[in-house]
């Protein structure tokens, strides 16, 4: 028996017993190196394309052979927009959570920005970028990336802000007791605590990028037609000509990219983030990822971590520690610095006041007919948004909890939800419209279905994140005390997911108003199909270059969303911060 144990112990601890350890490490390093090389090569290709001559009306091929290149361009645009969104989220959410004076301005401003549709950003962003780079493709590409950014960033910022506000007091006290620097507190407390919600909202943001890709890669601005090579423009061109075959090819390529992203990126990140879950009892069944295990066995990844990542992190921590020590013994800010800051604040305020008065002067040219269109459209879109949120909440809350409580089910449902959230509503519109015509119903009902396609996923992804974040020891306690199903929902599930649910409803509401621009106004087979609504008004104003009506409709939409957020969602946020915070 002893000889047998020793013989077994001599076998190399690899996936295959006959593969030497060094060879196995090489097998894991080669694909990682190849993937990194391919990624950087694609960045170089995109940079060469951006440096090329300005071609706003690129010819979009309907051939399936063009789809790999289009998919690469679209993926890189969404990736760059996501990196910008993540950087904005961390900075904006941190300042808003810890600076009460700034919070009073930044959170209402975030409400306004998340309610502004992509097309409302389009004229200013695109014209500014093209003016900065008039002779290079970089201008229109930067404009498209910023438009995708406006469709991604807001729910991530809300999620990070909400997580920072709900950190338990005893964890903050522990950070003070151990004298954490600002960098240590951010990397060891705040970012880990917000990780699960931020990851699931990141998935939703990337899905939102795919959703609005058609509007960001191909659009009309007055008498100018902008077309960028990508999956969005491919699907938009196919939908405009009624080419069902090309629509199916485009959707197939988009789904393939989404599935690859899920397997190679999101699933490993979700499995890795489970170590940040706050619990005293380890869960018996946790998310797993073969890709994550593959990366952990790589000698190349371990070398990079020990030689570059870890020393760099230590240098950054040392820098902040020294800076904090100097700040502690530093003299108070001088009067000149104080006056400089006040002067800058006054100049910003003057600029804002001037912009408001100039906008009022510009909007004074609206006619009575325009005001009636705005009032009727706002009422119609408001009712559709309310219906969409009610329907979305009715199914996403129980399904999201079910998925969040079952990691095995989550491994199946997660990629399916990402695919469903990422498919642009306008690509499915022909099928939905034909179905509604057969069963009896027009675009008024169809637009609610399209709003659901663009908003219900915000609630679902946040509920899943909230259910996964509920500590295992609390779940075990509910079983020990034999809670009934009603008691379990009332005492454990709803309080546990409440902060995430509020974030999901806030972003879903803003997303519903944003999605109205594609749900109420659509180009199909050379015809324009629309219904009464504020989104249709914005889309029509963008197509015709009526900037006065576009600005007025955007202001009305923002005012409605901000009013709802201040009267309904903000009190619910305060309730989540005080009553439903996870602490002793």
CB 454 within 8 A of CB 518: yes
Exposed, middle or buried, 583 (CB in 10 Å: 0-12/13-18/19+)? exposed
β 218-221/224-227 pair status: antiparallel
Structure tokens at 415: 């990629």
Tell me the β-bridge partners of 53.
136
Cβ neighbour number for residue 280 with a 10 Å cutoff: 9
Distance CA 193, CA 278 (A): 8
Query: Can you list the pairs that 270-278 forms with residues at least 24 positions away whose Cβ atoms lie under 8 Å?
Result: 270/199, 270/414, 273/195, 273/196, 273/199, 276/192, 276/193, 276/195, 276/196, 277/196, 277/468, 277/469, 277/471, 278/168, 278/193, 278/469, 278/471, 278/582
Where do we find the tokens 């795919």? 210
Q: What is the pLDDT of residue 394?
A: 92
Q: On the CB side of 544, how many CA atoms lie within 13 Å of its CA? A: 11
Q: What are phi and psi of 523, to 5 degrees?
A: -100, 125
pLDDT of res. 342: 74
Query: Residue 91: what pLDDT?
Result: 93
124-154 residue pLDDT tens: 777 777 777 777 778 888 888 888 888 788 8
Among residues 433, 425, 497, 423, the alpha carbon closest in space to that of 461 is found at 497
What is the pairing mode between strands 224-227 and 521-524?
unpaired
End-to-end CA distance of the chain: 52
Instruction: Report mean pLDDT in 10-residue bins for the chain, 584 residues.
Output: 41 45 61 78 78 73 86 89 93 90 83 71 74 78 86 86 86 86 86 88 82 73 74 81 81 85 85 75 63 77 77 74 62 65 78 76 79 89 91 92 84 74 62 63 73 83 85 83 88 88 85 79 69 85 80 85 83 79 60
Supply the DSSP symbol for 332.
P
CA distances to 54, 60, 76 from 136, rounded to whole Å, are 4, 19, 18
pLDDT of residue 13: 44
Three-state secondary-structure class, residue 133:
coil
Q: How much is the CA Rg of the chain, to the nearest whole Å?
A: 26
User: Which residues on neighbouring strands pair with residue 218, listed in sequence order?
Assistant: 227
Beta-strand (E) ranges in 223-336?
224-227
The DSSP string of 151-207 is HHHHHHHHHHHHHHHT--HHHHHHHHHTT--HHHHIIIIIHHHHHHHHHHHHHHHHH
* pLDDT reported for residue 280: 56
Which residues are bridge partners to 523 per DSSP?
528
Separation between Cα atoms, residue 134 and residue 139, nearest integer Å: 7
Is the distance from CB of 184 to CB of 317 less than 8 angstroms? yes
pLDDT at 373: 87
- Write the DSSP symbol of residue 221: E
CA dihedral 536, 542, 543, 545 (to 10 degrees): 140
User: How confident is the model at residue 7, as a pLDDT?
Assistant: 41
Nearest Cα to 180, choosing from 168, 169, 172?
172
pTM beyond 0.75: the answer is no
**Do 580 and 494 contact (CB within 8 A), yes or no?**
no
CA-nearest of 225, 54, 224, 12 to 142 is: 54
3-class state of residue 52 by DSSP:
coil
How much is the mean pLDDT over the chain? 78
Residue 276 DSSP symbol: G
Alpha carbon distance 229, 210 (integer Å) = 14
- Tokens standing for 211? 């959703």
Angle separating helix axes 570-578 and 494-519, nearest 10 degrees = 160
Do residues 552 and 370 lie in contact, with contact meaning Cβ atoms separated by under 8 Å?
yes
Summarize pLDDT for 20-31 with one digit per residue, the tens.
Answer: 555 555 666 777
Using DSSP bridges, classify how beta strands 527-530 and 521-524 pair: parallel, antiparallel or unpaired: antiparallel
Asked if 472 and 557 count as a contact pair (C-beta separation under 8 A), the reply is no
> Who contacts 112 (Cβ-Cβ below 8 Å, separation ≥6)?
558, 561, 562
What domains are there in the chain, each with its CATH number?
52-57+65-297+331-349+370-578 (1.10.3720.10)
What pLDDT is recorded for position 426?
A: 57
């Amino acid at each position: 028996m002893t000889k047998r144990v020793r013989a077994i112990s001599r076998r190399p601890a690899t996936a295959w017993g006959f593969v030497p350890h060094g060879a196995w490490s090489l097998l894991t390093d080669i694909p990682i190196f190849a993937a990194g090389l391919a990624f950087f090569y694609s960045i170089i290709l995109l940079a060469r394309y951006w440096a090329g001559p300005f071609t706003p009306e690129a010819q979009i091929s309907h051939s399936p052979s063009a789809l790999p290149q289009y998919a690469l361009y679209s993926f890189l645009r969404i990736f760059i927009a996501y990196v910008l969104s993540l950087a904005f989220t961390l900075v904006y959410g941190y300042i808003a959570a810890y600076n009460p004076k700034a919070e009073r301005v930044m959170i209402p401003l975030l409400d306004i920005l998340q309610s502004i549709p992509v097309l409302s950003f389009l004229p200013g962003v695109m014209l500014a970028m093209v003016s900065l780079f008039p002779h290079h493709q970089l201008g229109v590409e930067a404009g498209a990336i910023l438009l995708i950014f406006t469709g991604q960033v807001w729910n991530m910022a809300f999620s990070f802000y909400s997580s920072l506000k709900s950190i338990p007091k005893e964890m903050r006290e522990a950070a003070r007791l151990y004298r954490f620097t600002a960098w240590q507190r951010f990397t060891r407390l705040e970012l880990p605590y917000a990780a699960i919600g931020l990851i699931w909202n990141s998935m939703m943001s990337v899905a939102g990028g795919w959703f609005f890709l058609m509007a960001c890669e191909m659009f009309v601005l007055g008498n100018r037609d902008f077309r960028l090579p990508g999956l969005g423009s491919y699907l938009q061109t196919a939908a405009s000509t009624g080419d069902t075959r090309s629509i199916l090819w485009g959707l197939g390529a988009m789904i393939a990219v989404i599935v690859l992203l899920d397997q190679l990126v999101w699933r490993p990140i979700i499995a890795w983030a489970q170590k940040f879950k706050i619990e005293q009892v380890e869960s018996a069944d946790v998310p797993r990822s073969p890709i994550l295990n593959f990366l952990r066995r790589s000698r190349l990844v371990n070398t990079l971590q020990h030689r570059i990542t870890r020393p760099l992190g230590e240098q950054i921590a040392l820098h902040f520690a020294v800076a904090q020590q100097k700040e502690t013994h530093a003299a108070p800010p001088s009067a000149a610095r104080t006056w400089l800051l006040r002067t800058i604040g006054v100049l910003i305020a003057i600029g804002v006041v001037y912009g408001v008065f100039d906008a009022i002067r510009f909007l004074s040219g609206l006619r009575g007919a325009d005001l009636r269109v705005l009032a009727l459209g706002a009422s119609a879109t408001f009712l559709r948004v309310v219906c969409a949120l009610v329907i979305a909440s009715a199914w996403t809350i129980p399904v999201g909890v079910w998925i969040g409580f079952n990691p095995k089910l989550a491994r199946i449902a997660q990629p399916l939800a990402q695919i469903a959230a990422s498919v642009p509503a306008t690509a499915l519109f022909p099928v939905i419209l034909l179905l509604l015509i057969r069963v009896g119903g027009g675009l008024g009902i169809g637009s609610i279905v399209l709003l659901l396609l663009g908003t219900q996923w915000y609630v679902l992804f946040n509920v899943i994140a909230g259910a996964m974040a509920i500590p295992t020891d609390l779940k075990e306690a509910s079983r020990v005390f034999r809670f009934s199903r009603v008691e379990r929902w009332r005492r454990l599930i709803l309080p546990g997911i409440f902060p995430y649910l509020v974030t999901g409803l806030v972003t879903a509401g803003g997303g519903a108003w944003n999605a109205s621009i594609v749900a109420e106004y659509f180009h199909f087979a050379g015809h324009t199909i629309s219904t009464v609504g504020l989104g249709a008004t914005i889309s029509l104003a963008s197509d015709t270059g009526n900037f006065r009506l576009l600005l007025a409709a955007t202001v009305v939409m923002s005012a409605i969303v901000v009013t709802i957020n201040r009267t309904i969602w903000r009190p619910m946020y305060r309730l989540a911060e005080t009553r439903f915070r996870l602490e002793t």
